[in-house]
Each structure stands twice: as C-alpha cells, then as structure tokens.
C-alpha cells in the first residue's frame, strides 16, 4: 500500500486507544475549559455516591421518629446534595460538550486545510467521497467521544472505583457476595462485547454501501431515467438496505441477549445481597438505612460498570476514527514547495519550455502518457494542441499546472524550473479555463471573482463584458447577484463557459491554459464564446487544447499529438496540405469547413 493511501474502516488501526492521543493535541489548546470540565465531573460523581448516605440518615432517623431535628438535617443535606448534583452535572455537560464541539471544529479545519493542498495523486489513491465521509463521519464520532463518551467513561470510572471501595468499607460480607458474580459478568462483557463490536463495524460498512448506492444513482438520475432503470435501481438499493438490516438484526440480537444477562446478573445479585442484608438487619448488625444505602450505592456502582463496558466499544471506534484522521492530517502532498523555493518576479513574460519530458501517471506507471516530449512556447504565442483522444493533450496542461511532476525532464517558465518554485507562487501566473466549467454555489459575482478575490465589482463587470457574458447576466433575475445552484445548473453550457472565461480574464495572468469544451454549442453561443476567447488570448502566452476550427485556424502554431508525443507541427494551412493525422483529424473534427 502506498504511503498516501488512507485506510478504510476495516483497515483502521485496531483498538488502539493510544490513537486517541492525537486528540490530546487538539484538546490541549483549551486547558481552562478542560480543567472546569474535570472539576464539575468529579463533583457530580461524588454527589451521586453521597446521596445514599443522606437516604440512610432519613430512613434510620425518620422512621424511628425520635429525632425530628436530625431528620430535618438529613433532608436539608439531601436537598443540598441534589442541588449540587444538578448544578455540577449541568456545568459538566456544558463544558464537556463545548470541548467536543470546539475540538471537532478545529479538527475539521485542520484536516480540510491539509486536504485542499494535496496533489491530485492523493485523490486518485483515495476516493474523494471516502475522504469527505472521514471529514464528517469520523469527526462526528470524535465529537461524540470528546463531547460525551469520554466524560461518561470518566464519571463512571470514578463512581465504579470509589463506590466499590466504599461498599467494601460499609459491609465486606455483602460486598463479597457481589464480588462472586463479578468475574462472570466481566468475562461475558468482554466476549460478547467483542462480537458486538465486529457486528457494528460490518453494520456501519453496510450502511456506507447504502449511502454509496444512493449517491451513485441519484447523482446520475438523468441516465437512470433515460435508460428507464428506476425499478432496477430501486431493487438494487433495496438489496443494500436489506443487507444492512440483516447485519443490524444480528447485532441487536446479540445486544439484547447481553442486556438480558446483565440485568439478570445485576438484579439477581442485588436480590441475594438484599436477602443476606435483611438477615443482618433482623439480627441487628446493620440498620435498615444502611442496607438501603448499600443497595442504592451498589446499584449505582453496577450501573457505572455497565456504562464503562458500553462506552469502551465507543472509545475504540473513536480511536479508529482518530487514527484515520491522524493519517489524513499527516498526509503529505507529492507536490510540495522545496525548502528554499525560488521566488518568481511579479510580472513574467510567459516563456514556457517543456524539455525531454517523460511522464506516466502514478496510477498507470507502466503506461507513458508523455514520451520525450519537447515544446517551447514563446511569450504571447498561441499554441493549439490537437490529437486523438488519449494522445496526452490534457496531460501537458496537468504538468504545466504542476499537478504532477514528470519522471524525467523539466518544465520552465521564464527560465524558472517550476519544480524549484512554490506551486502557489508560480500558479499565480497561470490562468485555467477547464473543459468543464466549475460553478460554485454562490452568486454570479462571486463565481467570476473566484479568478481574483480582491477584484472590485467594477472589475468583475468589465471582465464579464469582455467575456461577452454581461448581457445574459444583466438579463438574469438578480443580475450579478443571481445565485447559481451547486453545479450551476441554472445557466446554459455556453453561459457557463463565458463565466469561466470572465473568471480567467479577471485573473489577468500572463499564461493561459485553455481546455476547450467539446460540448456542441449553437452557432450564436459558439460565436460569443469564440469572441470572448479571442479577447482573453490577446497578449498572453496561450496553450489551448483545441476543439474548435476557429481556434485552430487562429493559432500561431498547431502541435499534433499522438501517443504521448508530437507527430507534426505547423500552421493550419501548412498542416492541412500534408496528408497525415492532422488532415484526418480536422476532416473528422471540423467537417468540410476547412
Ligand atoms: P482527451 O482528448 O480524450 O481528453 P487527451 O489527449 O487529453 O485525451 P490525456 O487525458 O492527456 O489525453 O491522457 C493521456 C493518457 O493518460 C491516456 O492513456 C489516459 O488514459 C491517461 N490518463 C489521463 N489522466 C490520467 C490519470 N489521472 N490517471 C491515470 N491515467 C491517466
């Protein structure tokens, strides 16, 4: 497994509570809140154990009727304890939950900050969907542990230990009876607990399958409906849901049996203790109040042990989640700035050289996407890349953006080897118009401003005009404030492209990388997009993957690619004269127009 591969649920670091230590790094930042949480937790736990003492006083003094003052005192004590218990429990809840929410917010931010800088290679090895679920599901698990399970565990741990000691002091004999049933309970808890854990893990996996299935089919609803596969999809989904249910049923069954056994054992031993305790009360060696207090305290202690067992499995799940998040947090981008990156000047001319490039994608190491590839683009030149699908055209853009590093050769811009610069520094000089326009959920204004965040409203408007997008934007319901859906579905393909072009115009970078959309536009939109593109290309070094005849014809130079290499180059008229790949391609792609 490559170092970058994030483990899935099944491969999660197993049961290592040590992994929870990752959390400490985040919790540590909030020591005052942590201290308060612990303080109130200890107070709340202590009050729980003291309540039976007050009860003991009330029973012993109250029922005998000969010490009314003492009864009142015990009742007052009882109320004070109750008040302290209520207040400290509420405050513990506040601080612990606050910590959970705060820590999870910090973890989410830290993980996202890391993810957003990782190179595409990471997301090829790890499915983005899976990673997003880590960001939401795993962090939610952590939230439940920091914000609740851990405090439940700590409180019950305190009650269990302190209560056991107290019970021994109150009546070693009765405690000895209880202790007899103890090993059986523990052994059962451990064995059955393990089974429950395995089952709940597979139950989670099945639920994830359900999610994946729904995600896939709902995401491609138009294909599903166009092929009239609604019923088929529904039954595939139903199978996934039923599988999840079957596993859940097994888990529930085991848990119910565990619940039966636990309750039977606990209350069975309470009954045994009660029987023996009543003998002691009759013989006078114990007061009725003391017996009641003992039973009550024993019930609290038993409850505490039960809760400990219950949260233990949750702690383990959270440990797995913490481990996986720690892996995400430490994931290293394959594309990094060197220790002392070379700083490029503010303004560059856009002189690009790709020299002797050999490149294979990390996921397809045995297949060269570019072989001994050489290309120089002079400042201000427009170079069109054409070639059959899979020739390597997009790969050239990917390398120029330094999403990957070539295995051999180097890429320089204005004499700077891009591998020696900080990617975020040199990418400032590039502007990309991708084939698929990405529209973010937000207004048209925000979407264009994505090209340069500090652009003023006027600059955005000017860019929109230059991209021939102004008219349709003004005609939209709210003009530039019109909200675009998550995927920009409310505007046409041609309009999207013009927004992408406006974004690139606003960016105003000297090097333009253009992956022309292949989607067929109507003649009117095509003309508008073409005008916008021409405006954009003026005065910039442009490398364009060309699908439009107009772009190809206007290019200063056309590079014909096949199989990861250059097979011909020249202008349109030069190449069209030769009988070769270009002629065949242009006949096919551009029809008889040429
Ligand atoms: P098209 O016009 O269809 O987009 P192209 O000329 O742009 O094709 P590239 O996308 O550069 O071709 O692909 C070149 C080769 O690299 C192909 O064999 C392709 O399968 C492979 N390839 C492209 N992207 C990846 C990737 N992310 N991981 C692995 N292999 C890839």
Q: Is 393 in the pocket of ligand 1 (CB under 6 A)?
A: yes
518 lines ligand 1 (CB under 6 A): no
Atom of ligand 1 nearest to the CA of 387: 6
- Separation of 392 CA from ligand 1 center, angstroms? 6
* 564 SS3 class: coil
Q: Which helix (H) or strand (E) holds 241?
A: helix 230-283
Instruction: Write the pLDDT tens digit of every residue in 424-452.
Output: 888 999 999 888 888 888 889 999 999 99
With a 6 Å cutoff on the Cβ, whether 578 touches ligand 1 is no
Q: Per-residue pLDDT for 20 more than 80?
A: no
Per-residue tokens: 425: 């520094």
pLDDT digits (tens, 9 = 90+) for 545-565: 988 777 888 889 999 999 999
pLDDT for res 355: 94
* Smallest CA separation from ligand 1 atom 21, residue: 369
Ligand 1 proximity of 57 Cβ (cutoff 6 Å) = no
* Ligand 1 pocket residue status of 406, Cβ below 6 Å: no
- CB distance 563 to ligand 1 below 6 Å: no
Phi, psi of 165 (to 5 degrees): -60, -45
Give 209: exposed, middle or buried? Use CB within 10 Å, 0-12, 13-18, 19+: middle
| Percent share of the chain, pLDDT over 70 | 93
Q: How much is the average pLDDT of 214-240?
A: 90
Residue whose tokens read 């994030």: 6
391 ligand 1 Cβ < 6 A: yes
Q: Is the Cβ atom of 297 under 6 angstroms away from ligand 1?
A: no
Q: What local confidence, expressed as pLDDT, does residue 332 receive?
A: 84
Ligand 1 pocket test target in 391, 407, 436, 566 with most atoms within 8 Å of CB: 391
Q: Residues 277-329: pLDDT tens digits? A: 899 999 988 888 899 999 889 888 888 887 887 787 777 778 778 888 888 88
User: Ligand 1: distance of its center to the CA of 122 in Å?
Assistant: 17
Q: 369, 400, 543, 581: which to mutate for ligand 1, most atoms within 8 A of CB?
A: 369
Could you tell me the distance, in angstroms and rounded to a whole number, from the CA of residue 565 to the centre of ligand 1?
A: 13
Q: Residue 323: phi, psi to the nearest 5?
A: -65, -45
Q: Is the pLDDT confidence value at 594 over 50?
A: no
**CA 360 to centroid of ligand 1, rounded, Å:** 10
Query: Confidence band (pLDDT; 50, 70, 90) for 38?
Result: very high
Using alpha carbons only, what angle is made at residue 534 by residues 530 and 536, rounded to the nearest 5 degrees? 115
Give the pLDDT score at 528.
Answer: 76
Q: Would you place residue 338 in the very low, low, confident or very high pLDDT band (cuts 50, 70, 90)?
A: confident
Helices (H), 284-379: 288-330
330 Cα: distance to centroid of ligand 1 (angstroms)? 29
Separation between Cα atoms, residue 315 and residue 320, nearest integer Å? 9
Residue 283 Cβ contacting ligand 1 at under 6 Å: no
Residue 582: which pLDDT band, with cuts at 50, 70 and 90?
confident
CB 452 within 8 A of CB 445: no
What is the residue with the minimal CA distance to atom 1 of ligand 1? Answer: 389
Confidence of residue 591 (pLDDT cuts 50, 70, 90): low
- Output the residue whose Cα is nearest ligand 1's atom 3: 389
Q: Set out the domains of the chain in order of their start, with CATH numbers.
A: 17-330 (1.20.1560.10), 352-590 (3.40.50.300)
Cα 400 to ligand 1 centroid, rounded to whole Å: 15
DSSP sequence for 433-464: E-SS----SEEHHHHHHTT-TT--HHHHHHHH
DSSP-derived 3-state class of residue 413: strand
Q: 416-417 and 382-386: which strand pairing?
A: unpaired
pTM across the whole model: 0.73
Ligand 1 lined by 394 (C-beta under 6 Å): yes
For ligand 1, is residue 559 a contact (CB within 6 Å)? Answer: no
- The pLDDT of residue 521: 67
Nearest C-alpha to atom 14 of ligand 1 is from which residue?
Answer: 392
Which atom belonging to ligand 1 lies closest to the Cα atom of 385?
A: 6
Tell me, what's the pLDDT at 64?
A: 65
Above 60 in pLDDT, residue 1? no
Distances (CA, A) of 269 to 247, 266, 289: 33, 5, 19
**Predicted pLDDT at 381:** 93
Summarised one tens digit per residue, pLDDT across range 256-277 is 988 888 788 877 877 888 888 8
Distance 270 CA to ligand 1 centre (A): 71
pLDDT, residue 593, reads 43
How far, in Å, from the CA of 5 to the mean position of ligand 1?
22
Which atom in ligand 1 lies closest to the alpha carbon of residue 120?
Answer: 27
Q: Is the pLDDT of residue 97 over 50?
A: yes
* 38 CA → ligand 1 middle, Å: 56
Atom of ligand 1 nearest to the CA of 391: 6
Q: What is the mean pLDDT of residues 148-165?
A: 88
Q: How far is CA 47 from the centre of its chain?
A: 40
Atom of ligand 1 nearest to the CA of 361: 29
Q: Which residue has the tokens 């070693």?
A: 172
Residues 391 and 385: their CA atoms lie apart, in Å, by 10
Q: How far, in Å, from the CA of 498 to the mean position of ligand 1? A: 25
Task: Inform me whether the pLDDT recorded for 19 exceeds 70.
Answer: no
- Centroid of chain to Cα 36: 31
Of the listed ranges 295-304, 495-504, 527-536, the least confidently predicted one is 527-536
Give the number of the atom of ligand 1 that is nearest the alpha carbon of residue 392.
11
Ligand 1 proximity of 388 Cβ (cutoff 6 Å): no
Any ligand 1 atom below 6 A from CB of 389:
yes
Task: Give the DSSP letter string of 84-131.
Answer: HHHHHHHHHHHHHHHHHHHHHHHHHHHHHHHHTTS-HHHHHHS-HHHH
């Amino acid at each position: 497994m490559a170092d970058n591969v994030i483990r899935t649920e099944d491969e999660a670091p197993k049961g290592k509570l040590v992994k929870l230590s990752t959390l400490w790094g985040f919790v540590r930042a909030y020591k005052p809140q942590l201290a308060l949480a612990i303080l109130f937790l200890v107070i709340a736990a202590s009050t729980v154990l003291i309540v039976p003492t007050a009860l003991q006083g009330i029973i012993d003094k109250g029922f005998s009727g000969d010490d009314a003052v003492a009864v009142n005192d015990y009742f007052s004590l009882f109320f004070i304890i109750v008040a302290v218990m209520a207040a400290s429990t509420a405050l513990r809840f506040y601080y612990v939950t606050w910590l959970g929410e705060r820590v999870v917010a910090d973890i989410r931010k830290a993980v996202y900050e890391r993810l957003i800088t990782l190179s595409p290679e990471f997301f090829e090895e790890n499915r983005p969907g899976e990673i997003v679920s880590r960001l939401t599901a795993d962090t939610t698990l952590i939230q439940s542990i920091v914000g609740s399970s851990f405090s439940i565990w700590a409180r019950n741990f305190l009650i269990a230990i302190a209560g056991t000691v107290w019970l021994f002091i109150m009546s070693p004999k009765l405690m000895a009876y209880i202790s007899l049933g103890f090993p059986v309970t523990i052994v059962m808890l451990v064995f059955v607990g393990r089974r429950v854990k395995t089952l709940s893990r597979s139950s989670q996996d099945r639920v994830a399958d359900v999610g994946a299935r729904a995600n896939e089919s709902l995401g491609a609803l138009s294909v599903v409906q166009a092929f009239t596969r609604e019923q088929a999809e529904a039954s595939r989904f139903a199978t996934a849901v039923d599988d999840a249910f079957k596993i859940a049923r097994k888990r529930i069954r085991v848990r119910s049996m565990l619940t039966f056994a636990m309750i039977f054992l606990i209350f069975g031993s309470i009954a045994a203790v009660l029987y023996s305790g009543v003998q002691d009360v009759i013989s006078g060696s114990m007061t009725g109040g003391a017996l009641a207090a003992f039973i009550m305290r024993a019930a609290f202690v038993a409850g505490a042990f039960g809760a400990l067992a219950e949260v233990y499995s949750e702690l383990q799940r959270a440990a797995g989640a913490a481990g996986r998040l720690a892996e995400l947090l430490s994931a290293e981008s394959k594309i990094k700035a060197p220790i002392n990156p070379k700083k490029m000047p503010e303004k560059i001319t856009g002189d690009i050289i790709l020299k002797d490039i050999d490149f294979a994608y990390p996921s397809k190491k045995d297949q060269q996407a570019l072989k001994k590839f050489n290309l120089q683009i002079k400042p201000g030149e427009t170079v069109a890349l054409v070639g059959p699908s899979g020739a390597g055209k997009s790969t050239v853009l990917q390398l120029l953006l330094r999403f990957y590093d070539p295995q051999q050769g180097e890429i320089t811009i204005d004499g700077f080897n891009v591998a020696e610069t900080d990617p975020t520094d040199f990418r400032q000089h590039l502007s990309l118009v991708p084939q698929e326009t990405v529209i973010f959920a937000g207004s048209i204004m925000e979407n264009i401003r994505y090209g340069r965040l500090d652009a003023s409203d006027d600059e955005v408007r000017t860019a929109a005009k230059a991209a021939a997008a102004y008219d349709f934007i003004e005609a939209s319901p709210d003009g530039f404030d019109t909200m675009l859906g998550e995927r920009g579905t409310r505007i046409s393909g041609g309009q999207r492209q013009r927004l992408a072009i406006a974004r690139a115009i606003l960016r105003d970078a000297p090097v333009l990388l253009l992956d022309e959309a292949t989607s067929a536009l109507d003649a009117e939109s095509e003309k508008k997009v073409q005008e916008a593109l021409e405006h954009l290309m003026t005065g910039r070094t442009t490398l364009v993957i060309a699908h439009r005849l107009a772009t190809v014809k206007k290019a200063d130079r056309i590079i014909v690619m096949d199989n990861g290499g250059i097979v011909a180059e020249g202008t349109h008229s030069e190449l069209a004269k030769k009988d070769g790949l270009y002629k065949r391609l242009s006949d096919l792609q551009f029809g008889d127009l040429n």
